[in-house]
Amino acid sequence: MRYGEVLILCAVLQAASPAQAAEPGDVGRAVGQPFRDLSLIQDKLPEALKRAAEGPYDFSSAVDCAQARQEVSDLDAALGPDLDELETKRELSADSLVADLIGGVVKLPFRGILRRVSGAQARERAMRSAVLSGMVRRGFLKGRLSQLACPAV
């Protein structure tokens, strides 16, 4: 299949796909990946994740139900739904297929070396560490809410 045919196939699949089936931004994320690899686009770390990375088990900001709930809400906004809030598994959709196709076509040669030199690899490692800290913090706070016997909202 030639490159032009691949682009036409992508456009057809994108137009025919249901909007709610795919994760928002999958196609845009795939197209922007080479720019992130070269550090031309840099994802910003949400404040909630920065705070979580500083102290995932810190009691000082979770002394009462309102504070703990607010922090869980901030983490939910940064991380997406927790495991106990997921409704369904992500289904295969045309949008996700298009994103995978674009991600496979738009690759940089020597990507690993470029990511290391540009600093993208270190930033991604820091982002993943902050996301893990945020997930741990959210679980800790949910346990703290239970410990404080906070009423359900």
**In this model, does residue 129 exceed pLDDT 70?**
yes
Closest CA to 134 of 60, 59, 73: 73
**119, 38 contact by CB (below 8 A):** no
Question: Is residue 152 a part of any domain in this protein?
Answer: no
- The pLDDT assigned to 22 comes to 38
Question: Is residue 153 a part of any domain in this protein?
Answer: no
**In this model, does residue 143 exceed pLDDT 60?**
yes
Which residue range forms the structural domain that includes residue 102? 3-147
CB atoms within 10 A of CB 67: 14
Closest CA to 38 of 137, 139, 112, 97: 112
- The pLDDT assigned to 15 comes to 42
Tell me what the pLDDT averaged over the chain comes to: 74
Question: What is residue 59's three-state secondary structure?
Answer: coil
**27, 99 contact by CB (below 8 A):** yes
Look up tokens 């990511």; give the residue: 115
Mean pLDDT of 21-44: 66
- The pLDDT assigned to 85 comes to 78
pTM of the model: 0.62
Domain count, the chain: 1
**69, 153 contact by CB (below 8 A):** yes
Question: Is residue 16 a part of any domain in this protein?
Answer: yes
Question: Is residue 97 a part of any domain in this protein?
Answer: yes
Question: Is residue 134 a part of any domain in this protein?
Answer: yes
CB atoms within 10 A of CB 53: 19
- The pLDDT assigned to 10 comes to 44
Question: Is residue 99 a part of any domain in this protein?
Answer: yes
- The pLDDT assigned to 48 comes to 93
Mean pLDDT of 62-76: 91
**67, 61 contact by CB (below 8 A):** yes
Structure-token pair, residue 121: 């690899």
- The pLDDT assigned to 108 comes to 62
Give tens-digit pLDDT for 78-118: 998 888 877 655 555 666 666 665 555 556 667 777 778 77
Lowest mean pLDDT among 4-8, 58-62, 119-123: 4-8
- The pLDDT assigned to 89 comes to 55
Give the CA angle between residues 95, 45, 85 to the nearest 5°. Answer: 55
- The pLDDT assigned to 11 comes to 44
